[in-house]
Amino acid sequence: MAETTVLGVPSVRTPRLPARTGLSYHIRTFGCQMNEHDSERISGLLAADGMVASSDVESADVIVLNTCTIRENADNKLYGYLGALRALKKDRPGLKILVGGCSAQKDGDLVIERAPWVDVVFGTHNVHRVVELIDHADEWGPVTEIWEETSSAEDFPSYLPVQRETPHSAWVTIAIGCDNSCTFCIVPAVRGREISRRVGDVIGEVKTLAAEGVTEVTLLGQNVNSYGRDLELNGRSPVFADLLRQVGAVEGVRRVRYTSPHPKDFREDVATAMAETPEVCEQLHLPLQSGSDHILAAMHRGYNRDRFLSRLAMARSIVPKLSVSTDVIVGFPGETEDDFVATLEVVEAARFDQAFTFQFSPRPGTVAAEMDCQIPKHVVQERFERLVALQRGISLEKNEAMVGDVEEVLVEGPSKKNPAMTTARTRGNKPVHAPGEYAPGAYLEMEITAAAPHHLVGRVLP
Ligand code: SF4
């Protein structure tokens, strides 16, 4: 088994001459927006080292798997994928295989033990070290580097070069880590404690992006509402509502979005900032997780159903036309039929535009994984189908109510399903497909002509 070296690699911040000109890289991203954002940074670093992106994994010289560990099958997916790469490595020994992200942070050395053809394992706070770690693997063999202690604001990946998927839209990290302790969640263990980025750094990045032609920015954090609690500015902690206003005021920015808020910290000042800052879109993602107070307590969510519904009502009363999405977990340990019915009741009452629904999966290292009363798979599946059916009807009803409306949309590009159609997004973050070809990044007025549960159809107005 190859020797792995940990944390020995010298760190260089000053840009260096490209050392891998002409080589190609392929990045496969699993999981959330945080990972997508990190992958844009990894892509920027490899391109700065002279490499070109390749959509073809078979011919790439460097393959990066940016992993997620939020659900059980995520780990299985990783090791399944690594198994498939083994043959490629056998045929091309010079190929470099890198594993980053949350599974890498969680498993560390174990990744190389289980897949000794992997060259580099890097943690969630070690994105900036990717090129040096490849150098190290070239010289000394396989290397693992994950973070032990949560780092500092200095380690925000924001100064790194970036290769964005879409030139007109950008993610902007405002905080990393999470101080909450939801019993089903592995994030605090793999992304560390909350660290907010200084206001000036965030605004500085947004100004740079706007100067590069970005018109839509999405502020990223595990719990954006607690932004700034660890910072001090003029004797007080900056708050998220102020940051929203300041980002909206940056010249050239037309749309501001953010993800993810926590219902227990969602306050009126944020809703008011959304309503009073035209650039901030009328879109809110408010994760419910369960509608049962008994389960919410076992999840350690810090709110009950009435408080959740009152926060939702508050937001809707302040922000007109607010489009709301949520997350719901089915089958949490100890969930009775009554608990599940309570979830259906809240979903029924809340009328979400969209819901991301998940079946509970025990994550090693979380409190919930050790809980008794794990629910049998067939029961979870049956409940999951009832929830999906209910929400599907509500989403369709909400979208049908928009038929005849005129919406400002931002063009993303040709529809993936039908290239004769264009896909765009409303301010409520709903995908709309319309006939014709329009430039990505263009803002258009569209009349909504038809609706489906997960998308709208429209026609572009002259
Ligand atoms: S708020 Fe809860 S679910 Fe969200 S990242 Fe933090 S611990 Fe996980």
**Protein residue whose Cα sits closest to atom 1 of ligand 1:** 180
The number of the ligand 1 atom at minimal distance from the alpha carbon of 223 is 1
**Could you tell me if 216 and 169 are in contact, meaning their C-beta atoms sit under 8 angstroms apart?**
yes
State if residue 188 touches ligand 1 by the CB under 6 angstroms criterion. Answer: yes
Q: pLDDT tens, 395-440? A: 999 999 999 999 999 999 999 999 999 999 999 999 999 999 999 9
> Which of left, alpha, beta for 122 (phi over 0: left; psi -120 to 50: alpha)?
beta
Answer yes or no: are the C-beta atoms of 258 and 224 closer than 8 Å.
yes
Residues 153/196, Cβ–Cβ less than 8 Å: yes
Residues in contact with 208: Cβ distance below 8 Å, sequence separation at least 6, in sequence order: none
363 CA from centroid of ligand 1 (Å): 13
Helix (H, G, I), strand (E, B) or coil at 123: coil
Q: For residue range 329-384, list pLDDT tens digits in order.
A: 999 999 999 999 999 999 999 999 999 999 998 888 899 999 999 999 999 999 99
What CA–CA distances, in Å, run from 273 to 110, 221, 436?
Answer: 46, 18, 36
- Best of 32, 70, 105, 178 for a ligand 1 pocket test (most atoms within 8 Å of beta carbon): 178
Q: What kind and span of H or E run contains 358?
A: strand 354-359
Torsion angle, CA of 103/109/111/112, rounded to 10 degrees?
Answer: 150
DSSP, collapsed to helix, strand or coil, labels residue 20 as coil
CA distances to 320, 397, 401, 456, 458 from 449, in Å: 22, 14, 11, 8, 5
Query: Is 195's C-beta closer than 6 angstroms to any atom of ligand 1?
Result: no
Q: Is the CB of 180 under 6 A from ligand 1?
A: yes
Question: Omega before 260 cis (within 30°)?
Answer: yes
Instruction: Place 216 in a pLDDT band, splitting at 50, 70 and 90.
Output: very high
Q: Is the pLDDT of residue 225 over 50?
A: yes
Percent of the chain with pLDDT over 70: 94
**426: three-class secondary structure by DSSP:** strand
Q: In the predicted model, is pLDDT for residue 46 greater than 70?
A: yes
187 within ligand 1 shell (Cβ under 6 A): yes
Residue 245 has pLDDT above 60, yes or no: yes
Confidence band for 158, pLDDT divided at 50, 70 and 90: low
Both tokens of 81, joined, read: 């994928």
Confirm if 194 and 178 have CB atoms less than 8 A apart.
yes
Confirm or reject: Cβ of 190 under 6 Å from ligand 1.
Answer: no
Q: Which atom of ligand 1 is nearest to the CA of 262?
A: 1
SS3 199: helix
* Residue with CA closest to ligand 1 atom 8: 185
Please tell me the predicted confidence (pLDDT) of residue 156: 61
Longest Cα separation, the chain: 65
* Rg from Cα positions in the chain: 23
Instruction: Note the pLDDT tens digit of each residue in 439-462.
Output: 999 999 999 999 999 999 999 999
Count of alpha carbons within 13 angstroms of residue 437, beta-carbon side: 2
CA angle at 159 for the pair 247 and 144, rounded to the nearest 5°: 130
Is residue 162 predicted with pLDDT exceeding 70?
yes
Q: What are φ and ψ of residue 327, in 5° steps?
A: -120, 140
Return mean pLDDT, the chain.
Answer: 92
Q: Which of 217, 312, 210 is nearest to 252 (CA)?
A: 210
Domains and CATH numbers, the chain: 2-145 (3.40.50.12160), 155-400 (3.80.30.20), 406-460 (2.40.50.140)
Q: Is 5 in the pocket of ligand 1 (CB under 6 A)?
A: no
7 within 8 A of 132, measured Cβ to Cβ: no
**pLDDT exceeds 90 at position 164:** no
| Cβ burial, residue 152 (10 Å; 0-12/13-18/19+) | exposed
Is the CB of 319 within 6 Å of ligand 1?
A: no
> pLDDT band at residue 235, thresholds of 50, 70 and 90?
confident
291, 305 contact by CB (below 8 A): yes
- For 16-20, 213-217, 302-306, 387-391, which range has the lowest pLDDT when averaged over its residues? 16-20
Residue 317, pLDDT > 90, answer yes
What order do you get walking across the sheet with 216-220 strand by strand? 169-173, 216-220, 255-259
Do residues 446 and 406 make contact, with C-beta atoms less than 8 angstroms apart?
yes
> 88 CA distance to ligand 1 centroid (A)?
37
The upper half-sphere exposure of residue 41, i.e. CA atoms within 13 Å in the direction of its Cβ, equals: 25
User: Could you give the CA distance from residue 38 to residue 118 in angstroms, rounded to a whole number?
Assistant: 20
Q: What are phi and psi of 135, to 5 degrees?
A: -55, -45
DSSP letters, 78-90, are: HHHHHHHHHHHHH
Q: What are residue 282's phi and psi, to 5 degrees?
A: -80, 65
By three-state DSSP, how is residue 22 classified?
coil
**Residue 412: enclosing H or E segment and its boundaries?**
strand 406-414
Nearest CA to 220 out of 205, 208, 238, 237 is that of 205
Confidence of residue 4 (pLDDT cuts 50, 70, 90): very low
Centre of ligand 1 from the C-alpha of residue 262, in Å: 8
Nearest in space to 9 (alpha carbons), one of 107, 143, 138: 143
Average pLDDT over residues 33-46: 93
- What tokens does 351 get? 């009328």
pLDDT score for 395: 98
pLDDT given for residue 159 in this prediction: 67
| 2 pLDDT higher than 50 | no
> How far is residue 461's CA from residue 432's CA, in Å, rounded to a whole number?
14
Angle (deg, nearest 10), helices 240-248 and 199-211: 20
Cα(179) to centroid of ligand 1, in Å? Answer: 8
Q: pLDDT (tens digit, 9 = 90+) per residue, 175-210?
A: 999 999 999 999 998 889 999 999 999 999 999 999
